[in-house]
Amino acid sequence: MCSGCGLSCIVLCVFFQEAGKKHHHLDVNTLRGHTDCVTALDFSSDACNLATVCADGVVRVFRIDDASSKSFKILKINLPAGAHPTAIAYSEGSSSVVVAAQALLGSSLYMYADVGAPPTGGNKQQGKLSPPEIKWDHKKIHGKESVLNLAAARATHGTGDGSTIVISCSEATDIKIWHGKSGKELGTVDTNQLKNNMADISPNGRFIAAAAFTADVKVWEIVYSKDSSVKEVHRVMQLKGHKSAVTSLCFTPDSEKIITASKDGTIRVWNINVRYHLDEDPKTLRVLPVPLHDSKGSTCLYEHMGISPDGKVLAVTSGSTLQWLCAETGVVLDTAEKAHEGAISGIAWAPRTIPNDLALELLGTCLG
């Protein structure tokens, strides 16, 4: 196993197309209450709440005080009639969420404030609070195209004031940048790569990267003015090296590297902390083989990936399989095959350790 890589420090929650039974030693719990497919999820910055969106048109916010609890307080938010949610991201820490939803006329964004679920064990009357209202919304943000994913980060680079920046990635080729609190559109970039697979924003709110139809990954920089407003968004580099389309990617916690997975059967780790303004190209630090294969021996495609807050463990999914890899070497730390009957629709790392009754067991069985 890889030295320094362990699975006990952070709780990773995974949501599948349907509710499933516990069958893996890392399976801590199942959050129930959805009546249809769960399409996306996100943790609040304090890890106390987990927000999910479901094909039944309802946003559910679970209060996670103890991951192994038998029951959780839930706040339910009904989306406007006819809205089918496809993505969700927390905005402004733990107080609000931005939801992307698809309707007949196109995709929309809705921002709900004061979405924290009532604390577990609190006054029962707290569960009867009025549902949050829509603070801002935008219609047909990507024409008739659906939103593949949302990603959010606090603008802490340069003169950024710490406000949350949200990006929406369409299934076409455009990506839009939004101010999380005000809803103001801050810019648009276009991959010009036939169709997008997904996009991400660096944790410091500086870079945007997109995985699209071609083998190259384009990276843009958000430049902030002295007054902390967004001055411009421009392309600064292109990651060249993969031989086929990139299916998923993520930034490392320090915002200095990007990890990509491609149909060519490799994972690449890139150093983007370069002097691009002096034409210095990003560097490939490591090329790792995708270690997952199907029954015929063919290399599987990683559809989702996310790195632990300490940067040591990479979580990846392919169909209904979940894997944990050492981010440094690509060594497989653990695998949950057929984690559910349906394909995994999203993964999210908790930003900090969540208490659970199985902590000692996890520490004893999951360290690398």
Q: What one-letter code names the amino acid at 12?
A: L
Q: What one-letter code names the amino acid at 276?
A: Y
* Across 85-113, average pLDDT: 94
Per-residue pLDDT, 130: 72
* Across 29-35, average pLDDT: 82
* Across 7-18, average pLDDT: 46
Per-residue pLDDT, 352: 84
Whether 186 contacts 165, CB under 8 Å: yes
Q: Is the pLDDT of residue 101 over 80?
A: yes
Residue 124 pairs in a beta bridge with none
**% residues pLDDT > 70 (the chain):** 86
In order, the DSSP letters of 258-314 are EEEEETTSEEEEEE--S-GGGTPPPEEEEEEE---B-TTSPBPPP-EEEE-TTS-EE
Q: What is the pLDDT of residues 296-348, one digit of tens each?
A: 999 999 999 999 999 999 999 999 999 999 999 999 999 988 877 788 889 99
* Across 2-31, average pLDDT: 56
Among 8-12, 77-81, 108-112, 326-330, the minimum mean pLDDT is found in 8-12
Per-residue pLDDT, 64: 87
Per-residue pLDDT, 67: 79
Model confidence band, residue 357 (pLDDT cutoffs 50, 70, 90): low
Per-residue pLDDT, 95: 87
Model confidence band, residue 34 (pLDDT cutoffs 50, 70, 90): confident
* Secondary structure letter of residue 56 according to DSSP: T
Whether 88 contacts 98, CB under 8 Å: yes
Q: Determine if the pTM surpasses 0.75.
A: yes
Exposed, middle or buried, 128 (CB in 10 Å: 0-12/13-18/19+)?
exposed
At 211, is the secondary structure helix, strand, or coil?
strand
Whether 340 contacts 22, CB under 8 Å: no
Whether 193 contacts 175, CB under 8 Å: no
Distance of CA 102 to the CA centre of its chain: 19
Per-residue pLDDT, 108: 97
For the chain, list the domains and their CATH numbers. 24-116+131-367 (2.130.10.10)
Whether 242 contacts 264, CB under 8 Å: yes
* Across 173-194, average pLDDT: 97
Q: What is the pLDDT of residues 248-300, one digit of tens each?
A: 999 999 999 999 999 999 999 999 999 998 989 999 999 999 999 998 999 99
